[in-house]
Amino acid sequence: MQTGVMAKRSGGDGGKLWGGRFTEATDAAVERFTESASFDSRLWRCDIRGSIAHARMLAKIGVLTAAEEALIAAGLAAIAVDIEAGRFRWKREFEDVHMNVEAELTRRIGEAGKKLHTGRSRNDQVATDLRLYTREAIDELLGLCAALDDVLLTLAEREADTVMPGFTHLQIAQPVSAGHHLLAWREMLARDAGRLRDARKRVNVLPLGSAALAGTVYPLDRKFVARELGFDAVSENSLDAVSDRDFAIEFAAACALLMTHLSRWSEELILWASPMFGFVRLPDRFCTGSSIMPQKKNPDVPELVRGKTGRVIGDLNALLVLMKAQPLAYNRDNQEDKPPLFDAHDTVRACLEVFAAMLPAVEFDAAACRAAAARGFSTATDLADYLVGKGMAFRDAHHAVGAAVAHAAARGCGLVELPLDDLRCFAACIDEGVYARITPEASLAARNTYGGTAPRQVRAAIRRARRAPKERAPADR
């Protein structure tokens, strides 16, 4: 089809920033299908920051005059004010955040606006925006992890002497301190924060200057831009830099694992709050009722956290599958990276916040916890250890106590309720002193190894955790 200069001049391209080689306007359905402004407008702050740094650098190397740079910087700042105030009109025909901002800049300041994109492509621009976004997301989540860590340590200290059953296979195993259990959660969270902090290193690398895929003809000062934007390094390979989304995947992976942990805590809270366990009371303000059953008080908050874990695992999966089999370099597939990245961030933020608010209000029912800890022959191991103290080999002691447990079970009582004569049938060396050794409290106190559940160890662990530097964003250090 032969369409001449006239057709182009008369705006057959629909006024696109890239419209020069097009002779007809984009199909309306294609415009709707390909646009991303409806979701990537969220990147506007990062986009404008990146553009201001790019313009400053272009002026420094003489590609822009100081006057042009000043116009651009002021124009972008004014656009930022309007976006912030909700006065900016995002246009689908400008496709994405980058072209919306650039088109508006040129509308406002004229010729200088058209020079902003010199030596840059949306491919390195979007990668830069997304890294700035992810870095901020990490810093925010690290702050929330640190706050939740404080909450857990306070709670663990409060419950250090609360005796509850520890489970394996969800069967009563040995008594533990409730504070110790909370510190187990805390360890998971500390690793999550460490993973976010570690991912940050690989996030904080500047792709700008890679242009579309091959670099650019202008003598860009990439290190200057990196300094302006707080990046620790510049990317080494332009092809990789415009196509790499590992950083988003790593972030989502850290988020998915963090959510997996919150989901485990949620599951435990839900069980503990059930009358079948009755270990904790969740405050009314964190529960909801049933529209039909008047007696119900449901643990919807931990249930929703457990449920939202599926979304974040889905976000990670979406990003992995998005990248799988993509050839170098940039492909439009990558536009799809934003919804899962934003969703993982929003979901984790909301869950960390709600947990930090809810946990201090969780009340342990110490009597119910202790009663449960005394059930299920939970101190059978302590009886075996007592026999070892009397000189028996552990394997023989294990066997003898197993027989005593079977006997007590047949009588429908616990080990402490067996008369001394009965106990002595299983091991003649047992004396009166045994009873003080097989209470839940004695069992706890005896587990005094580093990292063990003895309240002394729990308090020592809390002191160590408080002394250890928290994983935080570098600026707060």
Which of 10, 41, 54, 169 is an active site residue?
A: 169
Among 51, 123, 235, 263, contact with ligand ARG (rule: CB under 6 A): 123
Residues 6+ apart with CB under 8 A from 468: none
Pick the closer one to ligand ARG by CB: 36 or 51: 36
* Pick from 183, 241, 252, 191: nearest CA to 215: 241
Q: List % helix, strand, coil for the chain (3-state, nearest 5).
A: 65, 5, 30
On the CB side of 205, how many CA atoms lie within 13 Å of its CA? 19
Q: CB burial class (10 A; 0-12, 13-18, 19+) of residue 344?
A: buried
| Catalytic residue of the set 117, 290, 399, 407 | 290
Q: Between vectors from CA 340 to CA 193 and to CA 85, what angle results, nearest 5°?
A: 90
Residues 139-178 that bind ligand ARG (CB under 6 A): none
Applying CB under 6 A, the span of 83-91, 184-192, 279-287, 327-335 interacting with ligand ARG comes to 327-335
Considering only CA atoms, which of 99, 159, 91 is closest in space to residue 129? 99
Assigned token pair, 273: 């709050």
The reply to whether 94 sits near ligand ARG by the rule CB under 6 A is: no
Using CB under 6 A as the binding rule, whether residue 334 contacts ligand ARG is answered as: yes
Residue ranges in 15-74 that form contacts with ligand ARG under rule CB under 6 A: 36, 40
122 near ligand ARG, rule: CB under 6 A? yes
Among 335, 381, 439, 457, binds ligand ARG (CB under 6 A): 335
Which residues are bridge partners to 171 per DSSP? Answer: 168
Number of residues written out for the chain: 477
- Binders in 415-474 for ligand ARG, by CB under 6 A: none
The yes-or-no answer on residue 169 being catalytic is yes
Nearer to ligand ARG, 194 or 339 (CB): 339
DSSP reduced 3-state for 272: helix
Q: Which is nearer to ligand ARG, 117 or 398 (CB)?
A: 117
> What's the CA gap between 340 and 120, in Å, rounded?
26
Is 290 an active-site residue?
yes
Q: Of 94, 330, 355, 377, which one interacts with ligand ARG (CB under 6 A)?
A: 330
Q: Which listed residue (324, 332, 467, 477) binds ligand ARG by CB under 6 A? A: 332
- Tell me which residue of 43, 53, 48 sits closest to 76, measured CA to CA: 48
Please classify residue 11 by burial: count the beta carbons closer than 10 Å to its beta carbon, then call 0-12 exposed, 13-18 middle and 19+ buried: exposed
Angle at 463 between CA 459 and CA 469, to 5 degrees: 150
**CB under 6 A: which stretch of 193-201, 326-334, 363-371, 375-383 binds ligand ARG?**
326-334
Rounded least distance, CB 330 to ligand ARG, Å: 6
> 280 has which bridge partners?
364
Q: Find the shortest distance in angstroms from Cβ 204 to ligand ARG.
A: 20
- Does the footprint of ligand ARG cover residue 266 (CB under 6 A)? no
Size of interface with ligand ARG, in residues (CB under 6 A): 10
CB of 463 to ligand ARG, least distance (A): 48
In the complex, least distance from residue 467 CB atom to ligand ARG, rounded to whole angstroms: 44
Q: Does 126 bind ligand ARG (CB under 6 A)?
A: yes
Q: What positions carry a catalytic annotation?
A: 169, 290
Interface ranges with ligand ARG (CB under 6 A): 36, 40, 96, 122-123, 126, 330, 332, 334-335
